Amino acid sequence: MIGRLPRIGNLLRQRRKAAEDGSIVVDAARKATGGKAKTRIVMTMAVFFTIYSTIAGRLVYLGLQNPDTSGGPQSRVTASRPDIVDRNGEVLATDIKTASLFAEPRRIVDADEAIEKLSTVLPEIDYEQTYHKLKSGAGFVWLQRQLTPKQQADIMALGIPGLGFRTEKRRFYPSGETSSYVVGLTNIDNQGISGMEKYIDDQGLTDLQASGLAVARDLKPVKLSIDLRVQHVVRDEVAAGVERFHAIAAGAVVLNIKTGEVLAMASVPDFDPNNPYNAQDKDRLNRMSAGLYEMGSTFKSFTTGMALDSGKVTLESRFDASRPIRIGRQTIHDFHSKGRVLSVPEVFIYSSNIGSAKEAEAVGIEGHREFLHRLGVLEKMQTELPEVARPTEPKIWKQVNSITIAFGHGVSTTPLQTAVGCAALMSGYLIEPTFLPRTAEQAMEVAKRVVKDKTVEGMRYLYALNAEKGSGKNARVPGYRVGGKTGTAEKVVNGRYSKEKNFNAFVAAFPMDDPQYIVLTIADEPKPEKPGMGATAASNAGIMAANIIRRAASMLGVKPDFSHENGATLVSYQ
């Protein structure tokens, strides 16, 4: 028994060792399993940490963004427009930044309260329309475009949740109504809708904006032929003329005879393009290029020019104006009849309807029509300004048509086209008008010869003579050798010519020794300035033309010359 004890001890030691070894294995297994679990836990934590860090970072980023660039789609008004400047670089139109108010209806707590607060700053806001917008549940709605800085500040001070501002571009016109019809307008989305603004869009700006290439720094200013100084004078005199002569409207244009450039053009009533609330009113019309009128006796310039150019009439020709002309039911008579035979210069300075009718008869119906089309008076004018009316004429010219058209009745054209036609008589060349800068050399590349040099000499002589001895006396300006022709036309009212309502015009050229400029003025339904005074073109449109020349001639570079005064301004005619 005792002998077996060592073996039993050995056996016990072996079992103990095996147990110890087993525990070691178990411990090792346990350790291995625990390490893998810890690794998975760490990896899982790392993934969640990354996700939450990304979310937190995004929230911080969004929280730091300016509120006027968050919430809602990008503004449609992101494209820039080029500045418009006059011929001297003075700004006529430019882009400025403005704030527009939007709402996020889903964040609006109380629509009624929001509108009530907004109305204290925007009293014109439409309650019902705005209420529907705020209750629409949409993510973004416009409430008011193009606010003033004060309006923006006042709305911000209201502290209404769910409202925000977006910076947009809008057009600003430093000269206001001074050049409104020429420069034109843009709409709420900064797109050109009239005047030279629309012309610029039509020349490719719209395509640039659509493609996102209309970047402000890449857009060069668009320079016009307009001289803002002269434009101011013209608009000022036209506005004063409406008031002084109690007219329903008036207008004027200054045209460079050598280049066809329009230096200034105005029509009143007009509008302020910075606040064009009345721009669509029916009396807001650019009467100089978009208005059609029977131009009255200014057309006698074309009739006499036609007669001289035909070679069938000379300045020495004479016409019997002793008796009225009767044709059909119409009787043609002179306003101030001389009751005798008149020479061509007398027909012109006395503005004889009878004499003018007989000049047209000498040329013939077809020749008469062809000449007016040759001078562009009855063609649609080709120029940059979109607002251009198409002249009207009889479909078939009869003898009576030719007779009445000879003294400015029976066809309608625009005042600007009349000025262009008269410029052709002063130079011999028809040059379509332009509102962009053009040199004399460039003008001659597109000019059309329309009358002979002899005709030009004769018409210059007659214009100067009429200012000295005829109806153009009121348009004379000392030192500037002005010539011209009046036109007093009875307006058609309810299909008949009215004895009480006239459309008056005066076309002036200066300096008459070598005419550089045409000034054409109009007065629509003028009244006598004072009781007992007349209301013909000489007493209103002629005075307006003289005032414009007196104030603007030096700006146009025409130096006064007093050596031709006291009757010596007459241009000799050989």
Residues recognised as catalytic:
297
CA nearest neighbour of 276 among 192, 196, 167, 177: 177
| Integer Cα distance of 449 and 371 in angstroms | 12
Q: In terms of DSSP bridges, do strands 84-85 and 222-223 run parallel, antiparallel, or are they unpaired? A: parallel
| Integer Cα distance of 417 and 411 in angstroms | 13
SS3 205: helix
Q: Which one-letter DSSP state was computed for residue 3?
A: T
- In the block, tokens 């307008």 appear at 185
What's the angle, vertex CA 414, arms to CA 327 and CA 504, rounded to 5?
65
| Integer Cα distance of 323 and 339 in angstroms | 7
Distances (CA, A) of 7 to 3, 12, 16, 18, 310: 8, 8, 14, 16, 156
Kindly tell me the sign of the dihedral angle through the C-alpha atoms of 202, 203, 208, 211: positive
- In the block, tokens 């911000």 appear at 156
10 Å Cβ neighbour count for 297?
28
| Integer Cα distance of 166 and 152 in angstroms | 10
| Integer Cα distance of 182 and 416 in angstroms | 13
10 Å Cβ neighbour count for 414?
26
Asked if 297 contacts 489 with a C-beta cutoff of 8 angstroms, the reply is yes
Structure tokens at 176: 């206001």
The residues, any chain, with a CB within 8 Å of residue 207's CB and separated by 6 or more, are none
Q: What are phi and psi of 264, to 5 degrees?
A: -165, 145
| Integer Cα distance of 44 and 234 in angstroms | 82
SS3 144: strand
Asked if 362 contacts 310 with a C-beta cutoff of 8 angstroms, the reply is yes
SS3 339: coil
Structure tokens at 4: 């077996």
| Integer Cα distance of 416 and 303 in angstroms | 18
CA nearest neighbour of 319 among 291, 356, 288: 356
Please report, for the chain, how many H helices and E strands are present, in that order: 17, 18
- Reported as type and span, the H/E element at residue 157 is helix 149-158
Give 530's Cβ-side CA count (13 Å radius): 0
Q: What amino acid occupies position 377?
A: V
